[in-house]
Structures are given as structure tokens and as C-alpha cells.
Amino acid sequence: MKPGVTVEQARAELNGILREIVREHPKDYDPKTVITLMSLRDYMVGRVRSALWVLLGAVGMVLLIACTKVAHLALARPVRAKRKWQ
């Protein structure tokens, strides 16, 4: 689609083209046929959008916990080494 064209505008234009094709070839097409048009994003993640956000949050929390544990290990190593020499 051209930039600035909405899905509704494209759907209306395609349905107009379809009506013209049905009028020219009535034997080949059912007059009740309509065009269904949706964005690729809605097609790919339409029904699972909220589940993907929850999954993103869970992965973020696991990453935060892992980073925290690594930071604690990195900070504890010099303290333990210092105590060993005393």
C-alpha cells in the first residue's frame, strides 16, 4: 500500500474492483464475495498479542534475575579472596 493509505481505504478500493470483476464475469464469481484485508501485524499476532506481552515480561524478569545473580557473584569473589589472605 502507498504510505498514508489506511486499511479501510484499501479494502473499499479492492471491494470496488471486485464488484467490477463480478459484474464483468457473473458466471465465474459469486456476487456475495467480499475482500478481507488486514495488516500483516494483525494477521501474525492478532489473537496472541497479550500472551506475547506476558512472555516478554517473563523473559525480562528471568534476565533481570540472572544479571543480579551474576553481579552478586562478581562482587562476592573479591571479598572472599580478601578474607582468605587475612
Q: Could you read off the pLDDT of 5-33 as tens digits, one per residue?
A: 888 898 889 989 999 999 898 888 888 88
Spatial separation of the C-alpha atoms in residues 12 and 33, rounded to whole Å = 13
Spatial separation of the C-alpha atoms in residues 21 and 57, rounded to whole Å = 48
Asked if 11 and 37 count as a contact pair (C-beta separation under 8 A), the reply is yes
Cell 456476487 belongs to which residue? 31
Does residue 85 surpass a pLDDT of 90?
Answer: no
Closest CA to 41 of 27, 26, 31, 52: 52
Confidence (pLDDT) at 82: 66
- Sorting pLDDT into bands at 50, 70 and 90, what band is 84? low
Q: Could you read off the pLDDT of 35-80 as tens digits, one per residue?
A: 888 888 888 888 888 899 999 999 999 999 999 999 998 888 777 6
